[in-house]
Amino acid sequence: MPNRLATLLPFPRLVRQQSGYFPLGATTHVLAGPHATREADAVRRVLAALPWPSANANSNDITKDITNANDILVDLDAGLPAEGYRLRIGPDHVRIKAADPAGAFYAAQTIRQLLPDEAWRAAPIDHAAPQTIPCAEIEDAPALKWRGAHLDVARHFFPKPVVLRFIDLLARHKLNRLHLHLTDDQGWRIESRGHPKLHEIGSHRPFSQLTRDPRTFDNKPHGGYYTLADLAEINGYAAERMITVVPELEVPGHARALLAALPDLAAAPGTRELTVATDWGIFPQIMSPLPGTLDVLAGLFGELLGAIPAKYVHIGGDECVLTDWEADPRIRDYQHELRLPSPVALHAYFLRQVADMLATSFGARSMVWDEGFTSTITGTGLRPDTVVMAWHGMEVARRAAEAGYDVVAAPTEWTYFDYSQAKDDREPTSIGGLIRTEDVAAFSPVPRDWSQEAQARLIGAQFQVWTEYIADSRMLDYMTFPRACAFADVAWAGKAVPWASLRDRLEAHLGRLAAAGVEYRPLNGPHPWQQRNPA
């Protein structure tokens, strides 16, 4: 039997192998120690999802004598780090001590990886297969509290089951944030009862750009949106798997879909036709910063946060072309009334207004792409509690941290999974660039040359899946995995991971992904049916 302890991903802080195996199955009971009901429930939720050959191991019988064999006892240990756990696997019982429900949940995910690959299937395939895990002592906790994944559902919409499956895969890799990019030039994906034209008009386009050549289109209508009930369901599903959903409603740029539905909110209204974008890029049409826009946004955020009562809300702030603000006399007058020196200062002021509204009305912290930070350096500044998501590199991340803002590292060099995975014409169309799985492994999210104060402001890291050229779930799998596996290892450890050791673990881990039906990219290159130009 292979040593599955050596294949864990992300790899725990401490693993001590012991002799023997624990038989896990229908006779196993998950028992809650004092004050550990929620932690035991988290373990049961993982084990109940396993494809047991017969009755599953999610019994709620907490009165059973713990001295009997084949039990899992879950205890609360407030002395452990957040999301941390200790796992003791003996030949006749298992002990889990967890800091919180997340720690217990991750202990159970470790148990799942210690089972045969078939534990990642939806139903059993061999009723005679033994369900055993190796005896060991494991102590673990993540280095970073924000271990995120960004999914763009605006450029290409993914139906709710695809998003739920994506959440399941994040949870199995102990990632704990799902950043949903819900609005952009090419689509508005949120039902609005106050402004129904948003989902009636903004959620679809007649065709889409097919390749990096802007003259090529697929001639197929594309669209879709999530009802508020769908978003509430997605949020609840994620919460059960210890994942916090971070919704993004982009302001004031990347707003063509919104402006196609609500053209009165545009800067320089009536000067050009406003439609949902069918191609990719940066567009000059952006929201007006006038007070009426903020009034509408307050209602839209109210609907969104009624479905997803998020404590973090991403408001974008990136790639804003301000020429329409300069050309609109109403906006120029408003800028002068506020005594702001430039449209850039007005951009900073607008972001601050949105952040203040979210904080005072909804108790939510705003997040911005790093342009939201760089545009405010000489202006009013961001709200002190705003989180900067740094995608232009670790230098801007350092500057934001040193300025006193919490930072999530999301640099294009290591975390943009819409980039190509090899310099090979057989690779599917990508946005450009090159990020191999070994490049992700080399990412150091907390640079050692930062000051201690700046390091303390680096709250986590996140990978990004932008979907200009990711049109379906098969391509989503291909572009995300196994790079997301390497990222999970890095984010859990808080540092780069040696590629040689990670590659060995990935080779084993791909068997789990295959059992789960993930159409990942093999480490040695795409399958023939995954290739753009087969050899």
Higher local confidence (pLDDT), 269 or 385: 385
Q: Which of 101, 71, 73, 103 is nearest to 86 (CA)?
A: 103
Q: Which of 103, 136, 123, 126 is nearest to 7 (CA)?
A: 136
Q: What is the pLDDT of residue 70?
A: 81
pLDDT digits (tens, 9 = 90+) for 464-521: 999 999 999 999 999 999 999 999 999 999 999 999 999 999 999 999 999 999 999 9
Q: Which CATH number fits domain 4-140: 3.30.379.10, 3.40.50.360, 3.40.190.170, 3.40.190.10?
A: 3.30.379.10
Could you tell me the residue ranges of all domains in the chain?
4-140, 146-530
Task: For tokens 């229908």, name the residue.
Answer: 26
What tokens does 384 get?
Answer: 């002190």
Alpha helices in 186-278 (DSSP H): 197-201, 228-240, 256-261
Whether residue 64 is predicted with pLDDT greater than 50 in this model: the reply is: no
Q: What is the DSSP letter of 397?
A: H
Q: Which of 130, 518, 494 is nearest to 506 (CA)?
A: 518
CB contact set of 139 (below 8 Å; sequence gap of 6+): 12, 13, 14, 84, 85, 86, 87
Q: What is the pTM of this model?
A: 0.95
| CB neighbourhood size of 341 (10 A) | 12
Whether residue 270 is predicted with pLDDT greater than 90 in this model: the reply is: no
Question: Mean pLDDT score of the chain, rounded to an integer?
Answer: 93
Query: Cα separation of 158 and 288, whole Å?
Result: 29
Task: For tokens 């050309």, name the residue.
Answer: 327
- 133, with CB counted inside 10 A (0-12, 13-18, 19+), is buried
Fold of 146-530: TIM Barrel (3.20.20)
Query: Cα separation of 209 and 430, whole Å?
Result: 12
pLDDT digits (tens, 9 = 90+) for 131-163: 899 999 999 999 999 999 999 999 999 999 999
Mean pLDDT of 236-249: 98
Where are the extended beta strands (E) located within 384-477?
387-390, 406-409, 419-420, 432-434, 458-465
Query: Cα separation of 295 and 495, whole Å?
Result: 43
Do 146-530 and 4-140 have the same topology in CATH?
Answer: no
What tokens does 485 get?
Answer: 């596996």
Alpha helices in 241-322 (DSSP H): 256-261, 291-307
Half-sphere exposure of 292 (CA within 13 A, CB side): 11
CB contact set of 282 (below 8 Å; sequence gap of 6+): 253, 319, 321
Spatial contact of 84 and 74, defined as CB atoms under 8 Å apart: no
pLDDT digits (tens, 9 = 90+) for 342-386: 999 999 999 999 999 999 999 999 999 999 998 776 556 799 999
H or E segment at 94? strand 93-98
φ, ψ for residue 280, nearest 5 deg: -110, 160
